[in-house]
Amino acid sequence: MKITIIGAGYVGLVSSACFAELGNHVVCVERDALRVAQLQSGEVPLHEPGLQELVARNLAAGRLAFATDVALGVRHAQVLFIAVGTPMAADGSADLTQVLEVAHAVGRHVSRFLVVANKSTVPVGTAQRVHDAIAQGLAARQLARVPAFAVASNPEFLKEGAAVEDFMRPDRVVIGVPEGRAGERAAGLLRRAYAPFNRNRERMVVMDVKSAELAKYAANALLATKISFMNDMAALADAVGADIEQVRRGIGSDRRIGYDFIYAGLGYGGSCFPKDVAALCHTARGAGQRLRVVEAVQAVNDAQAGRFVQRLLQHFGGSLAGRVIALWGLTFKPGTDDVREAPSRILVRRLVAAGARVQAHDPLVHSLEQLMAGDPPARRARLAPHVAFCAGPLQAAQGADALVIATEWKIYRSPDFAALRRALRAPVIFDGRNLFDPAELGRQGFFYQGVGRGQR
């Protein structure tokens, strides 16, 4: 098939490479000319396991191309996927500016039947807005024969750090199509695009457009709920002397609950959960509803990193002035270089504000500009004298008054504790990801505090 994907971020780039790997002819359109030049040379400007190899292989095979020209992409496509950003606006809603810009461009250039599928995470009702924007573009052209089109919803369910695997082995493929003949044609073309995934079993879940749009938000909100629920339980575990890790094993063995997303820690971050939870609450308010559970999920998460810093402050008598804090892990999760809404950003700001100096290490984040991307330059300048980036975990721990673990990278899971104790000024570990056994750390002479595990 001939497929066009608009947007070369995580979702667009992974989708482009994977569809090409399945034998389709894919054009990925991106307005950032520098990024397009990088991709045309085979350089992938983001970290995602397996993606570099897919892009290189399909570029060489001629199945994958990158361009800045939307008109070229529209002319090429039987199915066009919109995979541009929908960042959070000031009021918590999803900013659809880029999505609607693509829709207007499609209207200016479409000349035959085309399926336009929203892969971007968008609120309920966006498909209708995209349909209207395309129709406006067509009307402005005053064509004698107006080409038909259909707007569908095809939300993505990719995890950063495992996006290629998730795309190639999906649990399900959700498709929302409009009623009528155009919707039937859209469903047929989308079934054809995803046919390779259905050989083992049927993975397509076809529904109406609004339900598909809401399904994406509901999925992310439910996963975020599991995380915030466990962080709430962790606070209670600390208060009553229980161990949240034992609790996790006790409830995770229940098949109705499962082990995924029930780890206590510093809260969720990244490009999806924070903005999607906020956008879902905004959608509910616009419909005259309140999502009281989801609002609580957001509130628990917003407080989690600050609560962790407060425990650190308590340990040092209420002041971190002059203290050196080693920080292991900066990305919002292991396996990615994404720092958007990462808890580490909150930790760094609050530690520096409390008078501490931070010595940081992360396998993929090596500068303050990278960590605090999106912050005003003046804010980064204020942090710069107080944050050092180190070549390795032990270097970050050298001379530090405490070690804080913010991301559960594998490199941090089995350190040389004897060497770590020698490196630290004091044997103090605040483990924001519950990587270690408190009893074992206690036997080795460390003061250890996790999340919901008491202190040893």
**H or E segment to which residue 58 belongs:** helix 51-61
Domain final residue pick, 149, 180, 207: 207
- Looking at the structure, tell me whether residues 326 and 432 fall in a common domain: yes
Q: What pLDDT score does 156 carry?
A: 93
Which amino acid is it at 20?
A: A
Structurally, how many domains does the chain consist of? 2
Tens digit of each residue's pLDDT (9 = 90 or more) over 18-62 = 999 999 999 999 999 999 999 999 999 999 999 999 999 999 999
In a domain, 266, yes or no: yes
In a domain, 315, yes or no: yes
Do residues 201 and 225 share a domain?
no
Query: Across residues 394-400, what is the average pLDDT?
Result: 98
Enzyme catalytic residues: 272
Residue 16 · residue 8 · CB < 8 Å: yes
Rounded to an integer, the average pLDDT of 393-421 is 97
Q: What burial letters (b/e) apply to 408-447, b meaning 16+ CB within 10 Å? A: bbeebeebebeebbebbeebbbbbbbbbbebeebeeeebe
The pLDDT value given to residue 154: 97
- CA nearest 234: which of 267, 209, 272? 267
Please report whether residue 162 resides in a domain: yes
Residues 6+ apart with CB under 8 A from 16: 5, 8, 26, 28, 64
Task: Say if residue 455's pLDDT is above 80.
Answer: no
Are residues 106 and 138 in contact, defined by beta-carbon separation less than 8 angstroms? no
For residue 46, give the CATH number of its domain. 3.40.50.720
Enter the pTM of the model: 0.92
The C-alpha atoms of residue 292 and residue 298 are separated, in whole angstroms, by 10
| DSSP states along 297-311 | HHHHHHHHHHHHHHH
pLDDT digits (tens, 9 = 90+) for 335-347: 999 999 999 999 9
pLDDT for res 169: 93
Predicted confidence (pLDDT) per residue in 292-305, tens digit: 999 999 999 999 99
Closest listed residue to residue 277, CA positions, set 347, 338, 223: 223
- Measured CA to CA, the distance from residue 13 to residue 55 in angstroms comes to 9
173 lies in the same domain as 234 = no
**Per-residue pLDDT, 400:** 98
Residue 268: which residues within 8 A CB-CB, separation 6 or more?
224, 227, 228, 274, 301, 332
Query: Same structural domain for residues 165 and 234?
Result: no
Question: Looking at the structure, do residues 190 and 248 belong to the same domain, yes or no?
Answer: no
For residue range 417-445, list pLDDT tens digits in order: 999 999 999 999 999 999 999 999 999 99
DSSP 417: H
User: Quick check: is 139 in a domain?
Assistant: yes
455 occurs within a structural domain: no
Pair 162, 266 in one domain: no
In a domain, 214, yes or no: no
Predicted confidence band of residue 448 (pLDDT cuts 50, 70, 90): very high
In this structure, the answer to whether residues 229 and 371 fall within a common structural domain is: yes
Closest C-alpha to 156, from 237, 72, 84, 253: 84
Looking at the structure, tell me whether residues 108 and 16 fall in a common domain. Answer: yes
Which tens digits make up the pLDDT trace of 181-231?
999 999 999 999 999 988 778 899 999 999 999 999 999 999 999 999 999
Angle between helices 244-252 and 209-240 (to 10 degrees): 140
Where is the binding site for substrate, in residues?
157-160, 216, 261-265, 269, 333
What percent of the chain has a predicted confidence (pLDDT) above 90?
94
Domain identity same for 203 and 227: no
Instruction: For the chain, give the mean pLDDT.
Output: 95
In single-letter form, the type of residue at position 212 comes to: A
Same domain, 50 and 76: yes
| pLDDT above 70: percentage of residues in the chain | 100
* CA-to-CA separations, 68 to 17, 71, 82, 98, 371, in angstroms, rounded: 17, 9, 14, 14, 28
Of the three residues 207, 241, 264, the one that is the final residue of a domain is 207
Q: What is the mean pLDDT of residues 366-390?
A: 95
Residue 6 included in any domain = yes
Instruction: Map tokens 């909150």 to a residue.
Output: 346
Q: Are 213 and 153 in contact (CB under 8 A)?
A: yes
> Does the pLDDT at position 144 exceed 90?
no
pLDDT tens digits, 67-108: 999 999 999 999 999 999 999 898 999 999 999 999 999 999
Strand ordering across the sheet containing 447-449: 387-389, 357-361, 324-328, 402-405, 428-431, 447-449
What are the contacts of 18-24 at 24+ separation with CB within 8 A? 18/54, 18/164, 18/167, 18/168, 19/193, 20/54, 20/58, 20/61, 20/63, 20/64, 21/54, 21/57, 21/58, 21/63, 21/168, 22/196, 23/63, 24/63, 24/193
What is the pLDDT, as a whole number, of residue 202? Answer: 86
pLDDT at 363 over 90: yes
User: Does pLDDT of 261 surpass 70?
Assistant: yes
Per the CB < 8 A criterion, the answer to whether 339 and 332 are in contact is yes
Q: Are residues 111 and 260 in the same domain?
A: no
Residue 251 in this model has a pLDDT that exceeds 80: yes
Average pLDDT over every residue of 160-167 = 93
In a domain, 108, yes or no: yes
Among the three residues 148, 178, 207, which one is the final residue of a domain in this structure? 207
Q: Which residues are annotated as a binding site?
A: 35, 86, 121, 157-160, 216, 261-265, 269, 275, 333, 340
CA dist list (Å): 109 to 4, 84, 134: 13, 18, 10
Q: Where in the sequence is the domain holding 199, given as residue range(s)?
A: 2-207
**pLDDT value at residue 99:** 97
Give the whole-angstrom CA distance, residue 456 versus residue 445.
9
Q: How far apart are CA 423 and CA 396, in angstroms?
A: 9
Question: How far apart (Å, rounded) are the C-alpha atoms in residues 359 and 374?
Answer: 21
pLDDT tens column, 200-209: 788 999 999 9
Residue 456 pLDDT > 70: no
Tokens matching residue 424: 């630290």
Residues in the annotated binding site for NAD(+):
35, 86, 121, 160, 275, 340
341 and 195, same structural domain?
A: no
